[in-house]
Amino acid sequence: MGWLWSGSSSSSSAKDQLDPSLRDFLDREAPSGQRPSLPSKPAPKPSTPAQQEQLAEETAPLAPSQSQFQDGRYAHLWKNYTPQDILEDRSKSEQDKLRDIIEAYNDRKKEVGQVAMENCAFEYMEQYNCFKNPGFVDAITLCRAQTRVFNRCYETQAKFLKALGYLTMDTRSPEDSERIQMHADRLWQQLKEQEALIEKAKEEGQPLPKFESVLSRQNVARAVAGGPPPTTSVPVVGDLDPVDRLAETDVWANVKPEARQQYEKKLAELPPERREIERQALLGELRANNGIAKQVEVAFIEERINRMKRREAGQATIGDTIKRLWGWN
């Protein structure tokens, strides 16, 4: 093994001190070709809109997601491609667009019921098993206890979903919808825990614990994180922070004063433990109604512009003439 090194310090190169056979082996096995270069310094971010637009064009995919070849093959065939949903939307009349808006809102309302039913699957199975194999007491009462539990779960879950924004027409992914559904179920479980603690305190003759509303901002955030319910005082309806107060004012701005008085009267008649849940569910419905009203308004404006364009081009239809005679601008 002495040929691997040498004690002589007068040699000009360590390679020359190696055994000839080892030196030939290293020469044969040495990697050839160009050495890999170090990663270059990242390019500075564009600061002007023109640079940002140029960067977006350079980094844009060569082919749309519908193409099976994302490496750029046949990119010239996809250059003028328009998705099918956009083509269908262009061919729709104003009446078709209004009908789509109403149908989408009705479908969202049906989804609220379906999701609430999914969250109450265990309560429904309890009711189903009771009707299928009732005991003596259940047969006499027609499974009243199980039916009451299921109905309350279904109604409360639907209110939670509305309060969390499931009814709004905002575009969201299936993952976001599932996240709202999970949050509503967590709030329902939290509400049951609070009621169980209250019943236990009543049985033991202890002071009744007080909890903040399950739909308060802090409690919703805690339910999202999976935390336990706090033992704090229940906030009253008027005890809102400035952000919540401003958001609620914006919702009520589109409601007639007479209707608002009726809503507030119904809320005042409810017990405190149900009042906040009803109020938040009502606000969720009003937000959804305001959203659908804005979409309908946009559709009417677009329809009015198209009628004016057809009239200026001398292509007004009979319907356009009738609407103009009836006073539609």
Q: Which tens digits make up the pLDDT trace of 249-259?
A: 777 877 888 88
* Structural domain includes residue 203: yes
Calculate mean pLDDT across residues 113-118. Answer: 94
- Residue 86 sits at the vertex; the CA angle it makes with 69 and 294, to the nearest 5 degrees, is 135
Q: Which residue has the tokens 């090194």?
A: 5
Residue 11 domain flag: no
Q: Is residue 220 part of a domain?
A: yes
Q: Which residue has the higher pLDDT, 292 or 88?
A: 292
Determine the Cα angle at 8 with ends 2 and 14, to 5°: 75
Longest C-alpha distance within the chain, in Å? 112
Per-residue pLDDT, averaged over 286-302, amounts to: 83
Does 79 score more than 50 pLDDT?
yes
The Cβ of residue 222 has, within 10 Å, a number of other Cβ atoms equal to: 19
Task: Tell me what the mean pLDDT of segment 13-33 comes to.
Answer: 63
287 residue type, one letter: R
Q: Residues 219-232: what's their mean pLDDT?
A: 60
Q: What percent of the chain has pLDDT over 70?
A: 69
Nearest C-alpha neighbor of 94 from the set 319, 322, 329: 319
pLDDT reading at 229 higher than 90: no
Average pLDDT of the segment spanning 190-219: 85
- Please list, in sequence order, all residues whose beta carbon lies within 8 angstroms of the beta carbon of residue 282, skipping any fewer than 6 positions away: 263, 267
298, two tokens: 């946009």
Statement: residue 242 has pLDDT above 50: no
pLDDT surpassing 90 at residue 112: yes
Task: Tell me the helix, strand and coil percentages in the chain, rounded to 5.
Answer: 65, 0, 35
Which of the four pLDDT bands, split at 50, 70 and 90, describes residue 7? very low
- Range 151-179 average pLDDT: 89
Identify the pLDDT of residue 6: 45
CB atoms inside a 10 Å sphere around CB 191: 21
pLDDT higher at 90 or 32: 90
Question: Which pLDDT score, from 0 to 100, does residue 8 have?
Answer: 44
- Which has more confidence, 21 or 253? 253
- Name the token pair of 100: 């789509």
DSSP structure class, residue 235: P
Residue 103: inside a domain: yes
Does residue 33 lie within any of the structural domains? no
Counted domains in the chain? 1
Q: Which residues lie closer than 8 Å to 69 by C-beta, 6 or more apart?
A: 63
Q: Which two tokens stand for residue 180?
A: 């709202």
The whole-number pLDDT of residue 3 equals 43
Q: How far apart are CA 106 and CA 101, in angstroms?
A: 9
Report how far residue 105's alpha carbon sits from residue 111's, in angstroms, rounded to the nearest whole number: 10
pTM for the model: 0.66
**Containing structural domain, residue 191:** 93-308
227 in any annotated domain: yes
Answer yes or no: are the C-beta atoms of 186 and 223 closer than 8 Å. Answer: yes
Comparing CA positions, the residue from 291, 294, 325, 295 lying closest to residue 307 is: 325
* Range with the largest mean pLDDT of 197-201, 213-217, 301-305: 197-201
In a domain, 31, yes or no: no
Whether 155 is covered by a domain: the verdict is: yes
pLDDT, greater one: 282 or 250: 282
Q: What is the pLDDT of residue 289?
A: 85
Burial track 41-75 (b if 16+ CB lie within 10 A, e otherwise): eeeeeeeeeeeeeeeeeeeeeebeeebeeeeeeee
Residue 243: pLDDT band by 50, 70, 90 thresholds?
Answer: very low
Average pLDDT value for the chain = 76
